[in-house]
Every structure is written in structure tokens, then in C-alpha cells.
């Protein structure tokens, strides 16, 4: 199949590269010339394991990128993978996606046979008919029969390629059998008898995505709440989590307590769902509590550090800037509120991340950035561990170079040992 993917960010690039690997011909469209040039040069514009290899393999062959929507009418199906960030009040900001939807509709005015436009972005159910469908249809002529579907994406950053290639489920939200068949056909190379296909309407598919993220974020907030209680009792939340995770109804996944959830999706999606629910007159108390608990964890980490170090004028190392390991994405990283709170306390900060320092330098241009974790620790009065990068768990002798070896671990990735003052957030 010939597929257009509009938007070449984390999702669009991963999806495009994987579609090409599955044998499809893909035209990736992005308004950012730099991204398009990078892709056509055979490289990924983001850091994601395995992605560079796929782009390098298919660029110039089955995979091309462009800033122009001209290819859309020549293709069989179009996926919209544009960001859906938050407005100031937490509600979904559809401006970028709406503009791309309109441009897609306008391009489809040149096409006479039936075309499927698939919303891959995460969108609130009511926005499909209220905003996106009118935008897609606004440019089309009478001949263009356009079907609209939703096909939410469940990949995680850091494991995007493998998650996409081996999903737990395929959710297809369509209005017609033709659309279901066409959308399912795209995924044919990934399907086996084991993979559940959830065949539903576009709104339910969109809600499944929000419910999935809201559930996972709330699960982490619940284990953080329980973990904070464990800490008050002098108990180890990880021992408790390991035990409750043995119950199949709870499961062991997403029970890692600590400094909380960040990233480009959990915070914005939970807030968008809260805002959408409130605009219908419903007060989602559980989700609001999940956000409250999450917002408190970075402050608890800094407070734990303050138990041992007077922050005023202290040199504090921050290990980890990305919102999770194996990505350079700093969107809503817990490192941001941690650095804010440390600076408010008067600390001088030296930060280290294997790949995300450059991104964080735009947000915090005035802090010091170290080239290695060892360099960050040298002479530091304390360290806050914010991201569970694998290399941090291998640190050992490096702590001996600190002025005062105070380690506050927000991710349970440092080995507690003699010679360091070690404090975990929930253990």
C-alpha cells in the first residue's frame, strides 16, 4: 500500500519507518524542513533505539519525506500523527492537528476515488466530529469520498520501534466495513492469531487510548501514594509492590514508585481528559488525585535532600534529565520541577544526562552540564537521581569524589552501600 504519514515526530517517524519495513511505500510529510532533510538523509530526527537503522535502510527507497502535501492524493491511506498538546487550562490544543487535517482535506480535493484518513494522534472523543471531521472534509470536492477513522497508538518512547512492531492490541475505530478492512490490511504483516483486534467506532477507540493512559498514570500515582505511606512507616515500598504485583489482577508492571510520571503524554492526556470531562459537567475526582500525587513527588525528593544538605549555595548534581531512560525527550520531565525547586532553595546545579542535556539547555541555559555522571558527582554536596538510566546503577567509586556523598534516589536505581548517605523516596 502507498501510505502518507503526516507529522514526523516521535510517533510519525516510528510509524513511517515501521510501515516501510512492513513493505509499504511511505511518504512522510512534516512542515519542518530540517526534519524532512534529516529523514531524506537517512537519519532519524529523534533518538529512539532501532529507528536510525530503519530510516537508513528505507530512505530513498520505499521511504521518502517532504514538506508538501502533494503526494496525499496519490496514496491509498493517510495517517495524521500531529502533536495534541495542552492549552493553559489543560484542555487539548487541536490547532496543529486541525491545520494538518485541513491541509489533508484540501490535497484530497485532487483525488476522485475513496480515501481513508486515519487519526493516529491522541484526541478527545467529542473533537472527532466537532473539529477534525469538518476540517478534513472542508477542502474536499464532491467526488472525494473520504472515510475517517481513529487508530490510537500505544507505543512507549525508548522502546517505540519494538512496541509498534509487537503491540498488545490493534484498535481500529471506523464508521464502515471498507475502512475497517483497509486499516486492518495495513497492519496485516504484524497480525497473527494471538493479536486481539478491537474493532469499534472512532469515538470509542479514542476513549480507549485516554482510558489506557489514565489508568497507567493513576496506577503509578497510587503506588506513589502507597509508597509515601510505606516511607512514613519506615517500610520498603518496593518489597510491598513486588508482593502485590504477584496478584494477576494487579500485575507487576507500572508499580515502580518514585519521583513520578512525566513525558509528552501522561500529563497532557490525563489533564485533557479531566478538562473534557469537566466541560461535560463531570468532576473526575480519581484523575485529579492522580495529578495531585504526581505533582507532589518532585517536591518530596527535594525535601528529602534538604534533610541532609542546606541547599543555599550547595553544589547539587542532578542525574537524568530525560523523562525516562533511552530517550532524549524532556517534555514534562520530572527533572524540570526538581531543578526549579533546587534553584528556589539556592542550590548551584550541575546536571548530567547521556542524551538529553542539549534539550534541557534550552529550558535551563544557566545551569552547568557535565559530560559524564562522574564529572557531575565530583565535588557535589548532594545528588538527586531523577531518571533511571542503566549507567547510573553502575556508579560506585564515583560517589567517593563528592564533597558530601548524599544520594537521594528518585528511581530506585542506585545501590545503597556503606560510605554514602542514601535516601529513597518511597523506601
Q: Is 290 in the site for ligand UGA (CB under 6 A)?
A: no
Minimum Å gap between C-beta 339 and ligand NAI is 22
Q: Print the binding letters for residues 127-166 with ligand UGA: x by CB under 6 A, - otherwise.
A: --------------------------xxxxx---------
Retrieve residue 237's grid coordinates: 515500598
Interaction between residue 356 and ligand NAI (CB under 6 A): no
153 binds ligand NAI (CB under 6 A): yes
Comparison of 72 and 385: residue with beta carbon closer to ligand NAI: 72
Look at residue 324 and give the partner it binds from ligand UGA, ligand NAI, none, a contact being a CB closer than 5 to 8 Å depending on partner kind: ligand UGA
Asked if residue 225 belongs to a known ligand binding site, the reply is no
**Nearest distance from C-beta of residue 223 to ligand UGA, angstroms:** 7
The answer to whether the annotation marks 256 as part of a ligand binding site is yes
- Give whichever of 66 and 200 is closer to ligand UGA, judged by the CB atom: 200
**298 forms part of the interface with ligand NAI (CB under 6 A):** no
331 carries a ligand binding annotation: yes
Exposure b/e, 42-57, CB count within 10 A at least 16 = b? eebbbbbebbeebbee
Please tell me the distance from the alpha carbon of residue 8 to that of residue 78, in angstroms, as a whole number: 13
Query: Closer to ligand NAI at the Cβ: 210 or 238?
Result: 210
Q: Considering the complex, state which of residue 149 and residue 304 has its C-beta at the smaller distance from ligand NAI.
A: 149
Q: Which stretch binds ligand UGA (CB under 6 A): 13-21, 73-81, 251-259, 369-377?
A: 251-259
CA 82 to chain centroid: 13
Determine if 336 is a binding residue for ligand UGA (CB under 6 A).
no
Judge whether 30 is annotated as a binding position: yes
Q: Which is nearer to ligand NAI, 86 or 343 (CB)?
A: 86
List the single partner that 31 binds among ligand NAI, ligand UGA, none, CB under 5 to 8 Å by kind: ligand NAI
Quick note: the x/- pattern for ligand NAI over 111-150, rule CB under 6 A, is: ----------xx----------------------------
C-alpha cell at 216: 497507567
Which sequence positions are flagged as catalytic?
A: 265
Is 324 a binding residue for ligand UGA by CB under 6 A? The answer is yes
**Residue 122 is labelled as binding a ligand:** yes
Among residues 73, 202, 262, 405, which is the contact residue for ligand UGA, using CB under 6 A? 262
Binding-site residue ranges: 30, 84, 122, 154-157, 209, 254-258, 262, 268, 324, 331
Q: Under the rule (CB under 6 A), what is the footprint of ligand UGA?
A: 122, 153-157, 213, 216, 220, 254-256, 258, 260-263, 265-266, 323-324
Q: Could you list the residues that contact ligand NAI (CB under 6 A)?
A: 6-12, 29-32, 35, 81-84, 96, 99-100, 103, 121-122, 153, 155, 157, 264-265
Amino acid at each position: 500500500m502507498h501510505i502518507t504519514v503526516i507529522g514526523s515526530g516521535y510517533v510519525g517517524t516510528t510509524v513511517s519507518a515501521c510501515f516501510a519495513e512492513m513493505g509499504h511505500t511511505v511518504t512522510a510529510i512534516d512542515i519542518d524542513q530540517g526534519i524532512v532533510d534529516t529523514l531524506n538523509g537517512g537519519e532519524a530526527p529523534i533518538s529512539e533505539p532501532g529507528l536510525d537503522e530503519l530510516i537508513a535502510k528505507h530512505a530513498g527507497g520505499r521511504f521518502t519525506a517532504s514538506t508538501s502535501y502533494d503526494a496525499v492524493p496519490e496514496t491509498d491511506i493517510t495517517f495524521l500523527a500531529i502533536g495534541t498538546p495542552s492549552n493553559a487550562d489543560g484542555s487539548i490544543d487541536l490547532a496543529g492537528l486541525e491545520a494538518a487535517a485541513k491541509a489533508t482535506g484540501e490535497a484530497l480535493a485532487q483525488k476522485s476515488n475513496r480515501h481513508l484518513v486515519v487519526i493516529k494522534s491522541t484526541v478527545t472523543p467529542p473533537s472527532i466530529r466537532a473539529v477534525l471531521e469538518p476540517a478534513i472534509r472542508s477542502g474536499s470536492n464532491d467526488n472525494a469520498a473520504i472515510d475517517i477513522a481513529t487508530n490510537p497508538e500505544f507505543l512507549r518512547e525508548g522502546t517505540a520501534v519494538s512496541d509498534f512492531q509487537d503491540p498488545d492490541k490493534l484498535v481500529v475505530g471506523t464508521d464502515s466495513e471498507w475502512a475497517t478492512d483497509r486499516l486492518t490490511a495495513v497492519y496485516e504483516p504484524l497480525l497473527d492469531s494471538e493479536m486481539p483486534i478491537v474493532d469499534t467506532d472512532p469515538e470509542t477507540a479514542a476513549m480507549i487510548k485516554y482510558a489506557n493512559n489514565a489508568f497507567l498514570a493513576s496506577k503509578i500515582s497510587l503506588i506513589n501514594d502507597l509508597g509515601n505511606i510505606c516511607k512514613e512507616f519506615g517500610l520498603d515500598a518496593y518489597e510491598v509492590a513486588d508482593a502485590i504485583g504477584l496478584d494477576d489482577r494487579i500485575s507487576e508492571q507500572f508499580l515502580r514508585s518514585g519521583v513520578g510520571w512525566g513525558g509528552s503524554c501522561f500529563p497532557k492526556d490525563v489533564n485533557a481528559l479531566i478538562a473534557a470531562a469537566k466541560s461535560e459537567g463531570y468532576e473526575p475526582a480519581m484523575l485529579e488525585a492522580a495529578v495531585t500525587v504526581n505533582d507532589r513527588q518532585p517536591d518530596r525528593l527535594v525535601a528529602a535532600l534538604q534533610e541532609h544538605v542546606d541547599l543555599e549555595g550547595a553544589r547539587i548534581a542532578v542525574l537524568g534529565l530525560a523523562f525516562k531512560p533511552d530517550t532524549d525527550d524532556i517534555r514534562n520531565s520530572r527533572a524540570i520541577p526538581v531543578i526549579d525547586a533546587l534553584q528556589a532553595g539556592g542550590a548551584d546545579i550541575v546536571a548530567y544526562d547521556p542524551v538529553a542535556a542539549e534539550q534541557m539547555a534550552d529550558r535551563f541555559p544557566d545551569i552547568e552540564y557535565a559530560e559524564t555522571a562522574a564529572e557531575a558527582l565530583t565535588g557535589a554536596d548532594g545528588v538527586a537521581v531523577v531518571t533511571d538510566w542503566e549507567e547510573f546503577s553502575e556508579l560506585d567509586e564515583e560517589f567517593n569524589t563528592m564533597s558530601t556523598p548524599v544520594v537521594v534516589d528518585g528511581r530506585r536505581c542506585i545501590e545503597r552501600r556503606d560510605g554514602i548517605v542514601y535516601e529513597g523516596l518511597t523506601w
